[in-house]
Structure 1
């Protein structure tokens, strides 16, 4: 009697084109794949059959690839099977329409990229050599055929004009193009394929955790499902802590239904906490299938001991309810971003790349990441790293921006997809919420679908032209209740408005908001490599092609013209778009965190930026670009959502001196300040408030006082009248605040937080030329100025070799700022600031 064996089939794969639609003619010979798992674009690029579609305008040149059929094959050998032994092929991901055959016999027809397929090949596999073939059909052609066959007419358009047939196809939506991504219709075995042999196995291992924060105890309810079990089987459960100590161990008999349960209790439990609130210890649950004293199969899961839920309860002095995440009975303000696949071609995203991006995410003080519904259910390594780092994950189900069908066949594939992924991912402590879709209700409303929020009859929904409501409000909740009863589910929800209005556009939880900017100049140059020099211009055809936002020329131009003076050189344009993005994000984050006002007054419970990362070199709302190069907003957001942060609002109050006058108006300008402390302890700091004249740097007001910031709350700090300038009533005044630590004797120490407030819009400001004092000592850069300076940005030539801890600073007189640049090692440092000639 032998234990389960698993062999990853990652060797010997080759591919070729089958048939031809248009040109070019298919190759007769098979070619080796570039890697495994893989997709067709990666393989064609490896053999110079297509140009890199990320370069220049090459995206247009490779559209034919997505309309062809592609055959992949490999061979493998197996020995003789034991009596009663099963042989199974597991396909973790086939993109998307795939006909699979083994030794010429059809064994699988797949139509869902997001599913895992298991196929029993016991009667098909041959002793010794076997040939496995997978024929991938064109997803876009098949989708259009399905639209015609079913007479499918979805309501309205889809985002960025993507093909409506995507709504019928269970494929990563962003492959069809998006407002930040290319149209590259991939296919191929995009996740591993494995061969298993076993007599019996543990087909599923799940846990449910209950904790008592007060008693520091936990109960881990473990369930194992056994495939091909018998009356003599038992499962040995073991719970192991992060130091590899066995905490509990129990044996349970397998029931007739193939399921066994056990409760493992933990004393002195180490709880899993979000980043910034504690540690992230991970326990291991191990299950061993025993038959006749022999181990047939062993599975394990890493779990965290924590509770998590979305809290929706009435608010004081405000309509509606709160919406925030609570972990281990502690309310959490969620500050973070939305996650898109790290590459358009997911198979080439390495574990190292995932870790780099997620460490940058934590490095920017972000604590929640939302896996967006137009991408993929992410790789295990993604969630493993989130578990390790304490990142909270809000995960969408894969629906985005459209009115999907909900017929029986579609519901069936959705059930299988959701069950696969919930079972795969439900043990991760980082995942605290699932949501039904991305903006589908918005599309239903925007295009006047038959959607009546007051109609509570699901049968009516299915007869309407927005039947997917049934999926989001019936099907998905039922599956979540069944498979993840202790994780919250929420069926989910965007205009060119001035970003100065962000504070009044808030809500109880902002799941998406963003501002477009160009990426780093080297990132742009990476796709201009084969282009003429004339294309190195912010409005060239090639640069324009790498901006997929609808009407992006008008949108971005409106924001820039409303706010800044600028030229049109590429470097300056990059700078000004990134400064625009940084200012928009900082205004929003400061204002919305201000609304975190304590129990019963959680008027805003979180804000997630769209987006953290893009899938290629593109002008987008991302905080970091395709090569992991941070934009300016990355640093401003990092400061604005730090555990301790400051905010300032400038308010103008106009009072007529008598009725009906328009000429005699008294104007009072006040500035209001607040501090946000999202740690679990109250803190006391020295608060300094200063007001400067912009043109002279003259200090008009200084106020220093000791202030306490209560724990996990925003505190209003001051409401003061802005002093009158000495030189001219038109002189712009800059407000600066900072918090410094206090020693036992009351003396001031290090700066904990800074904030400046400038008159808006910046285009009205005549920026004087400052006297800068920049000093570089090893990896430490210090900067000071004699007048206020906006958007002071440090550069090095070898950008990928240096990691700045801070950047994009506002400088004011008398406040020397220090930036650590890891890996500087004598490299020359240059800089730019707003208004620099």
Structure 2
């Protein structure tokens, strides 16, 4: 028997255009690829055959690319095969309609970007040189033909420019989205491998049961074998986090398998979400042995943990909870939604994944939702989430539409899901799989034949919402088979009497910005058991905007220019942005100021929502809100969007306020007016009492004894009109109400705006105040009514530290540096009050000049 070998076919690739349509000068000569894996836009861009579609209005100029056929070709050499030896080609990802030929013989027809394809070429491969060709057809043209052939008429519209995407198993965002371009890609977007073996381990997986009480874990290890098994054995080994061998077992192979062994691990090191513990990873190794020779070895990294979505009745509230429990501990999920980090996925480097996910964790986020309009992410993405303790909610790849569910479509979905569940099921970071993104919303919005009370799957298939069969029958059955210990949720949003029931399941909170564009100040009363999408748009960093204005005339450097508008894909974004900015702020129309005020608006809106919804995490039986996930963490190109981080990994100002608002310990303040009529029917004689209520949210597992400081200041003078200091214990893993006080009167004027400030400091055993743990300010709304005073800022820069204080309250002090990518701010967009000196660490600053802007600055 031969030893398993795998060769990555990553060299000698070339491409050319085939059967050009509507192009006067087709690219019909082979050209070398720019990289591998790759896609057509990257290769054409590398050969200067198209302009950069991310710059200016070039997106319009390259639409022809997605309507052509493209041929990729390479050669590889093989030696003669041994007796009984297989030769297999594995294609990790082909985008999307692909005919694969070897030495002129067709070996594969692929129609699903999300699948892995394996082809046995033992009887077709030649000794010596072989020619491998992949012909990619236009996904947009093929999709339109399928619509015509099948007379496919989905209910309603979709969130992109073309309904045909619903028939095509391709990343849905490639068809354009409200934050991304329309660039229909094709190509070998993931690696291609040439394998030779007599026998191999085709799959290796585990099932883990932990006992927190006894610090132990039962691990069942399973393996499937492909090929000959005579005189073969398999050795299972579990290595500890330090790569020390813990347990091992050997099995003789007989029968078909799968082959399994059970292990008990004592003194187990459990895997925890970030902030609650460490993330030790054990290694499971399987070795396929024949006559003392290792023919094949496969490894899997696993974490010892339990995880499930908890939905149970609540005390004093309707509906049920919705939160993730890990190792028996309830977790409040704070995080964001993830879209591919680039429209062209093959150029996302491992370093870029690591940079973004480290930024995610540095912002105190613990859950990331892989959105259903993108891709099942790269292995490295989940590896890093495992290492960093990020909880992953992973959608299956359906988004915003009414998909078909005929038998051929079901078959391709079943194969796609099996491929990806087998590939990803060992990752401890993945705690939930979800059937789709917003398909139930679309089914309801467009009044399909969706009867939530109909339990018959066969009748679903006969309705004009047949996709329900996929989400409530096909996918849960596959999850029961391949990931039985991982929670499955049919859709997002989904649950209760409607798709967006605030008392059951999760919701997408789009009454702010989308729908009727309610003021973001209403976020506190728009919460739910779990808010899995919400957000407010803002412009990215000025240098990010300049990167796409590079070839534009100076007149385009304006917030409302055609080019800047083109890099904002939101429907009616002009009206929406203008509404939210003019409702809240005074501002001018210079580009830099417009960027600042849009980012300030986004930051204030996120603060309003996050503080209020975390307040509803009140303990066992009172988990009235179990999580909030911002739409979105990152975009796919340079765009005005709801992302916290822009295309070049530059954080917007909301990144920093979110970091503070979802810190392990955070504070919130509500300003509440109580109006009382002096007698019946009066409109003139109304007494108004203004109270301010404060709370703290502690999501650590330890209570904290703190010094609570409450102060109230006049805005215009900075005079302190109220001060209170007391010692408070902040309970563990809940929100704690701290105070309910009447707002004092101003000393100078009844019309004087008052700014409320609270902070928490640590206390030592001798009641000495220690470092600052959390800050919070509350300002009268809307900001446009406030006449902001001109502060005297005392600012000092020492190396990588900026120290600042002010004589009057300051809203939204933002720091900037010229070399934006050389400096990483740990905090930004500060609110200042008199007497509170703040320190910002800016790694890489090294004393270089800093500029700043605050709200109301002339």
TM-score, normalized by length of structure 2? 0.97
What residue is the counterpart of 2:6 in the other structure?
Answer: 6
For 2:24 and 2:177, locate their aligned partners in 1 and report how far apart those are by CA, in whole Å: 27
Aligned counterparts, 1:543-554, within 5 A: 543-554=564-575
What residue is the counterpart of 1:338 in the other structure?
Answer: 337
What residue is the counterpart of 1:727 in the other structure?
Answer: 748
Q: Of 656, 660, 676, which aligns to 1:635?
A: 656
* Residues 50-78 of structure 1, C-alpha deviations (whole Å, 9 max, x = no match): 00000000000000000000000000000
Query: How far has the Cα of 1:233 moved from its partner?
Result: 2.4
How large is the RMSD of aligned CA atoms in angstroms?
0.7
Q: Which moved more, 1:439-448 or 1:741-750?
A: 741-750
What residue is the counterpart of 2:823 in the other structure?
Answer: 802
Query: How far has the Cα of 1:296 moved from its partner?
Result: 1.4
Cα contact 2:199–2:229 (8 A) shared by 1: no
What residue is the counterpart of 1:500 in the other structure?
Answer: 521
Query: How far has the Cα of 1:291 moved from its partner?
Result: 2.3
Q: Of 793, 803, 806, which aligns to 1:782?
A: 803
Cα contact 2:17–2:29 (8 A) shared by 1: no
What residue is the counterpart of 2:777 in the other structure?
Answer: 756
Q: What 5-or-longer segments of structure 1 have no aligned partner?
A: none
* Count, aligned residues: 836
For 2:448 and 2:52, locate their aligned partners in 1 and report how far apart those are by CA, in whole Å: 40
Aligned counterparts, 1:209-220, within 5 A: 209-220=208-219
For 1:74 and 1:20, locate their aligned partners in 2 and report how far apart those are by CA, in whole Å: 21
Aligned counterparts, 1:449-598, within 5 A: 449-492=448-491, 493=493, 494=508, 495=515, 496-598=517-619
What residue is the counterpart of 1:328 in the other structure?
Answer: 327
For 2:228 and 2:414, locate their aligned partners in 1 and report how far apart those are by CA, in whole Å: 25
1:117 and 2:138 correspond: no
Cα contact 2:71–2:134 (8 A) shared by 1: yes
What residue is the counterpart of 2:622 in the other structure?
Answer: 601
Aligned counterparts, 1:634-783, within 5 A: 634-783=655-804
Cα contact 1:205–1:224 (8 A) shared by 2: yes
Query: How far has the Cα of 1:561 moved from its partner?
Result: 1.0
Cα contact 1:374–1:398 (8 A) shared by 2: yes
* Residues 344-376 of structure 1, C-alpha deviations (whole Å, 9 max, x = no match): 000000000000000000000000000000000
Aligned counterparts, 1:321-470, within 5 A: 321-470=320-469
Query: How far has the Cα of 1:742 moved from its partner?
Result: 1.1
User: Which 4+ stretches in 1 moved above 4 angstroms?
Assistant: none
What residue is the counterpart of 1:207 in the other structure?
Answer: 206
Cα contact 1:229–1:258 (8 A) shared by 2: no
Cα contact 2:308–2:486 (8 A) shared by 1: yes
Query: How far has the Cα of 1:258 moved from its partner?
Result: 3.2
* Residues 207-237 of structure 1, C-alpha deviations (whole Å, 9 max, x = no match): 0001100000011100000012435322100
What residue is the counterpart of 1:15 in the other structure?
Answer: 15
* Residues 720-777 of structure 1, C-alpha deviations (whole Å, 9 max, x = no match): 0001112222111100000011122212111100000001111111111111111111
Cα contact 2:587–2:597 (8 A) shared by 1: yes
What residue is the counterpart of 2:850 in the other structure?
Answer: 829
What residue is the counterpart of 1:198 in the other structure?
Answer: 197
For 2:696 and 2:27, locate their aligned partners in 1 and report how far apart those are by CA, in whole Å: 65
1:319 and 2:318 correspond: yes
SS in 2 for 1:41: helix
SS in 2 for 1:511: strand
* Residues 683-739 of structure 1, C-alpha deviations (whole Å, 9 max, x = no match): 100000001110111111001000001110000000000011122221111000000
TM-score, normalized by length of structure 1? 0.99
Cα contact 1:227–1:258 (8 A) shared by 2: no
Query: How far has the Cα of 1:293 moved from its partner?
Result: 2.7
What residue is the counterpart of 2:77 in the other structure?
Answer: 77
SS in 1 for 2:149: helix
For 2:357 and 2:582, locate their aligned partners in 1 and report how far apart those are by CA, in whole Å: 34
What residue is the counterpart of 1:818 in the other structure?
Answer: 839
Cα contact 2:342–2:637 (8 A) shared by 1: yes
For 1:498 and 1:786, locate their aligned partners in 2 and report how far apart those are by CA, in whole Å: 31
SS in 2 for 1:578: helix
For 1:24 and 1:63, locate their aligned partners in 2 and report how far apart those are by CA, in whole Å: 15
What residue is the counterpart of 1:55 in the other structure?
Answer: 55
Query: How far has the Cα of 1:242 moved from its partner?
Result: 1.2
What residue is the counterpart of 2:497 in the other structure?
Answer: none
For 1:53 and 1:660, locate their aligned partners in 2 and report how far apart those are by CA, in whole Å: 64
What residue is the counterpart of 1:180 in the other structure?
Answer: 179
For 1:377 and 1:28, locate their aligned partners in 2 and report how far apart those are by CA, in whole Å: 33
For 1:497 and 1:482, locate their aligned partners in 2 and report how far apart those are by CA, in whole Å: 43
Cα contact 2:171–2:374 (8 A) shared by 1: yes
Query: How far has the Cα of 1:826 moved from its partner?
Result: 2.3
What residue is the counterpart of 1:97 in the other structure?
Answer: 97
For 2:187 and 2:726, locate their aligned partners in 1 and report how far apart those are by CA, in whole Å: 64
For 2:231 and 2:620, locate their aligned partners in 1 and report how far apart those are by CA, in whole Å: 54
SS in 1 for 2:52: coil
What residue is the counterpart of 1:308 in the other structure?
Answer: 307
* Residues 142-201 of structure 1, C-alpha deviations (whole Å, 9 max, x = no match): 000000000000000101x42000000000000000000000000000000000000011
For 2:404 and 2:769, locate their aligned partners in 1 and report how far apart those are by CA, in whole Å: 63
For 1:582 and 1:28, locate their aligned partners in 2 and report how far apart those are by CA, in whole Å: 51
Query: How far has the Cα of 1:312 moved from its partner?
Result: 0.5
Cα contact 1:229–1:254 (8 A) shared by 2: no
For 1:823 and 1:734, locate their aligned partners in 2 and report how far apart those are by CA, in whole Å: 34
SS in 1 for 2:596: helix
Cα contact 2:700–2:733 (8 A) shared by 1: yes
For 2:3 and 2:484, locate their aligned partners in 1 and report how far apart those are by CA, in whole Å: 32
Cα contact 1:231–1:256 (8 A) shared by 2: no
SS in 2 for 1:358: helix
For 1:181 and 1:530, locate their aligned partners in 2 and report how far apart those are by CA, in whole Å: 20
Query: How far has the Cα of 1:16 moved from its partner?
Result: 0.4
